[in-house]
Amino acid sequence: MDDRETVCNILMHEPESLIDLGPDCPHLLAQIVHRALHKDLEFRYTGFQDLLTDLDPVLMELRRAEADDWFQAAQQAVAEDRVEQAKAALARVLELVPDRKEARGLLEQVKDRQRQSAVRVKVEAFILEAEQKPRTEGLAR
């Protein structure tokens, strides 16, 4: 396709809908793109800031959806006792949606579990040391 053909297509035909091209495309995003590409100048965005303002809710919804996926992965990691993966997934959730309370709560639970595990290891080491100490002292006499 040469340049003249491309220009002719732009002028004569409506662009294909994003929904038709990608059924998973958010409806609001498809509407925004349609408005941005509208042939009639009166219906197009008057400035880039207006376009960005309309895109904000789309971005927020996409972030929420991605955060949902990461939160599910974190829950699965917690269930399988994969603490580091759970913490990484929860960090991503909070990066995407900082005010997600359930993610903060689960992160605190994971950290508590990690602290308890560290304390348990130390206690078991002290118990083992205490059990071996009388035997060692008895041999020294």
Q: Is the pLDDT of residue 61 over 70?
A: yes
**Nearest to 22, CA basis, from 14, 33, 13, 12:** 33
pLDDT in tens, 64-85: 999 999 999 999 999 999 999 9
Q: Is the pLDDT of residue 56 over 80?
A: yes
pLDDT in tens, 109-136: 999 988 988 888 888 888 888 888 766 5
Q: Is the pLDDT of residue 141 over 60?
A: no
Task: Please state, in angstroms and rounded to a whole number, the distance separating the CA atoms of residues 81 and 73.
Answer: 12
pLDDT in tens, 9-44: 877 888 888 888 899 999 999 999 999 998 888 999
Q: 3-state class of 84 per DSSP?
A: helix
Q: Is the pLDDT of residue 137 over 80?
A: no
Instruction: Report yes or no: 110 and 87 within 8 Å, Cβ to Cβ.
Output: yes
CA dihedral of 99, 103, 109, 115, whole degrees rounded to 10: -80
In degrees, rounded to 5, the angle at the alpha carbon of residue 41 between the alpha carbons of residues 5 and 44 is: 100
Q: 3-state class of 22 per DSSP?
A: coil
